[in-house]
Chain A
């Protein structure tokens, strides 16, 4: 297992380098970023000076090489606008994004599991049809639109939930302020529900359909029939025999899911004014704050790789039939 993990980590370095290479050069395709950092009326001389200050006067390959050298030392440079180490800015914002994605993941899993199981058990019934219809809607509706509809109906119409904003839990937790973290939980949940649903609805719908089909497949297996014929209660058959096997494909998906949810935060964080990494990246791209975009991309890639690794390991633990080669 140790060798496996080491090999995967080494592969990850190549992946991260590839990602930065693409991000770095595509950011430079759109012309000289210096213009975004000078006044509308700046003279040619001021533009040249600013270009030097920002380091954009150096050849592109040189800029990239110094970035890679910095990466090895975990120094990704300073954000051009914030005058602060780019990596610090990403870490500052990561807790808010993690709260949102984890909440969305928990929410989608908690809802998807029971409704998927119920749909499978009531296969062909109106309830099953209804659940699948809603799931299809959930998979096809754009997150942006759903977010705005939630804001208009639940936030503005019913006034049940706050329209936008964020109340931190993980941030105070990381800084050791446990009282604040716990005290913030109720308000944080209220702020999390709408954005959480917005990014989670696709996963929720997909998972519900996956759980249903996976359950249906497992329920037709011989060992389930055997369990039933032994006279076991349906609840026991489902929870002890069928569920564990039906969940395997769902677990695989959860790892990818996290990456998918992370990619959805850019739009959702913008709609709900959520101060996370998604907004940071969005603004950084708009202002072509290159060090900040790269720091975000590297952090996201790294997070994604680690999560996939965890899922792979977990998968082996869950299903002993799979052996590592």
Chain B
């Protein structure tokens, strides 16, 4: 081959490139583009399992009450509710003139249908509503009492805030449409009840929704929302800096400077509601593990609280400043009298000596294993290694084991087969302290991963149902004090969340890991 055809080929390619329009597509003034790491599994809210999914459905499907951007509970489809005397029946009064996206009127029948549909075993839904919300509120059935009144029947009284918060997670479907199609069709062609309606879904690429004209309960600024799926963090950052995306979630700490220096976007960090902690395993299966006997002692568990320098972990490994948690409850709902344990290794050593675990000749008090996941929480593996080192520094020889999240850690956690020390983060909320405390609602609760069994705590827990807010507050403060002094967790921090936000946007991220842009506007 002579040189000519090769040069011609190169020239051809170059011409083709220059002939094509340059520059990526940037969103116009009526469109907002949000990039998340994963796609929805299906367009069926009853199958929602992840935050990425609920973020989209929150814009497409309305709920009777809602969790506002400030984290409070506000009326939405309903304007009020009343509770039966025995506390088991909750009756919501809906606003008048509501409609579904297909134009049908939205009435109490639709709300009752949505709740019962999610519960129906024939539908075999595995989402948040059937798998978590309903068992947590003791849901029995929903019934339409009149056109605008719907009653949720439960098997027990419960804290008002907790129940209302959980009901606020149940999406309202429109009966006429959903009862006429198969589950498979429903999973591809949603007809919603919220301020945005479905337009297009290209799997693993984007979901496009557009504003519903005449939606009376909200009037968002943007006409269209693109929910793009960009799994790779560097790619999300590049798209944000290039101006093709307005909001990105999960900015890694090492990319914060690049975004802040770009001139097109900035990173907004918020203290999230996810509680990060090191659990102390009390399970019988661990009784003979090294270190298990030591951490069974309250004094040792308290001592270790002083050994870990949480603020330094935050600044060095998470790239932000954060305060140490004083309890499992998100601020400002915690017990105001409790101060977070300070970093004081000398005090930790003193308490360990007093607890009967002096340093041996080799400087070691006792050995223990700390297990943690990789790839689930912000910089998780490094945080676990740092904690291991802090504990070793006070003479507790800590062997760190890092396990893969989905294949190893999740099954072990769920089987309570992790420890004797383990690193974990569980989701919380700002709308109720009891919701945060529900991780430890019973000694055998699914989320009591430590098998902690403090009789006083669980006695008080049982007393919380159906109390007035003031009485409830008192019980909460007592319980949190019990936990502070007999900790099942080594309290760490509330995981910070980092959002990359385009400078053209006026938007404040929420604390509860939800991305809501109903109040977002252009600068």
Question: Interface of A with B (CB < 8 Å)?
Answer: 29-32, 35-47, 50, 53-54, 79, 81-84, 89, 92-93, 110, 113-115, 117-118, 148, 151-152, 155-156, 159-166, 186-187, 189-190, 193, 234-235, 238-239, 243, 270-273, 275-276, 279-280, 282-283, 286-288
Contact = CB atoms under 8 A, between A and B. Distances in A.
Contacts, number: 178
Given A35-B411, A155-B238, A273-B230, 16 more contacts: A29-B407, A30-B404, A30-B406, A32-B411, A38-B131, A45-B135, A81-B49, A114-B1, A160-B17, A187-B20, A235-B1, A270-B231, A271-B234, A275-B203, A276-B204, A288-B407
A84 B126 contact: no
B165 to A, nearest CB: 13
Interface in B121-138: 124, 126, 128, 131-132, 135-136
B414 A159 contact: no
B446 interface: yes
Interface stretch (B35-43, B217-225, B385-393): B35-43
Contact of B131 (A50, A81, A166, A272): A50
A166 B229 CA distance: 12
Nearest to A168: B202
Contact of B235 (A54, A110, A164, A276): A164
User: Counting chain A CB atoms within 10 Å of each CB, which of B9, B205, B230 scores highest?
Assistant: B205
A156 B23 CA distance: 9
27 contacts: A30-B406, A31-B407, A31-B408, A31-B410, A31-B412, A35-B413, A37-B126, A39-B132, A42-B131, A50-B126, A81-B41, A82-B187, A83-B42, A83-B44, A83-B187, A89-B203, A148-B232, A151-B235, A156-B238, A160-B22, A163-B244, A165-B205, A190-B20, A234-B2, A275-B202, A275-B204, A288-B406
B50 to A, nearest CB: 10
B238 A279 contact: no
A180 to B, nearest CB: 14
B228 interface: yes
A84 B184 contact: yes
Interface in B1-50: 1-3, 5-6, 9, 16-17, 19-25, 38-39, 41-42, 44, 47, 49
Contact of B205 (A81, A148, A275): A275
Nearest to B133: A39
Nearest to B231: A270
B354 interface: no
B239 interface: yes
A238 B1 contact: yes
A148 B234 CA distance: 7
User: Counting chain B CB atoms within 10 Å of each CB, which of A38, A117, A287 scores highest?
Assistant: A38
B242 A163 contact: yes
Contact of A30 (B39, B131, B136, B408): B408
A163 B49 contact: no
B500 to A, nearest CB: 14
Q: Give the bracket for the number of chain B residues in contact with chain A.
A: 35 or more
A223 to B, nearest CB: 19
A45 B131 CA distance: 10
Contact of B22 (A54, A114, A159, A282): A159
B243 to A, nearest CB: 10
Contacts of A160: 17, 22
Given A39-B131, A50-B126, A186-B20, A271 B232 contact: yes
B204 A84 contact: no
B1 A117 contact: yes
A41 B47 CA distance: 16
Contacts of A44: 446
A283 B408 contact: no
B426 A40 contact: yes
Contacts of B41: 79, 81-83
A118 B232 contact: no
Given A163-B244, A238-B1, A47 B446 contact: yes
Interface of B: 1-3, 5-6, 9, 16-17, 19-25, 38-39, 41-42, 44, 47, 49, 124, 126, 128, 131-132, 135-136, 183-184, 187-188, 202-205, 228-232, 234-235, 238-239, 241-242, 244, 404, 406-408, 410-414, 426-427, 438-439, 445-447
Contact of A41 (B25, B229, B446): B446
A41 B238 contact: no
A237 to B, nearest CB: 11
Contacts of B5: 114
Nearest to A288: B406
Contacts of B22: 159-160
Given A93-B203, A165-B205, A47 B231 contact: no
Contacts of A30: 404, 406-408, 411
Nearest to A32: B411
A189 B20 CA distance: 9
A155 B22 CA distance: 10
A156 B238 CA distance: 6
B49 A39 contact: yes
Contacts of B23: 159
Contacts of A186: 19-21
Contact of A189 (B9, B16, B44, B126): B16
Contacts of A288: 406-407
A283 B52 CA distance: 14
A288 B2 CA distance: 53
A32 B412 CA distance: 9
Contacts of B228: 165, 273
Contact of A114 (B6, B42, B135): B6
10 closest cross-chain pairs (CB), A and B? A31-B411, A30-B407, A39-B132, A81-B41, A275-B204, A275-B205, A162-B24, A114-B6, A35-B414, A39-B131
A115 B3 CA distance: 10
B235 A40 contact: no
Nearest to A279: B204
B446 A42 contact: yes
A178 B241 CA distance: 35
A42 B445 CA distance: 9
Contacts of A239: 1
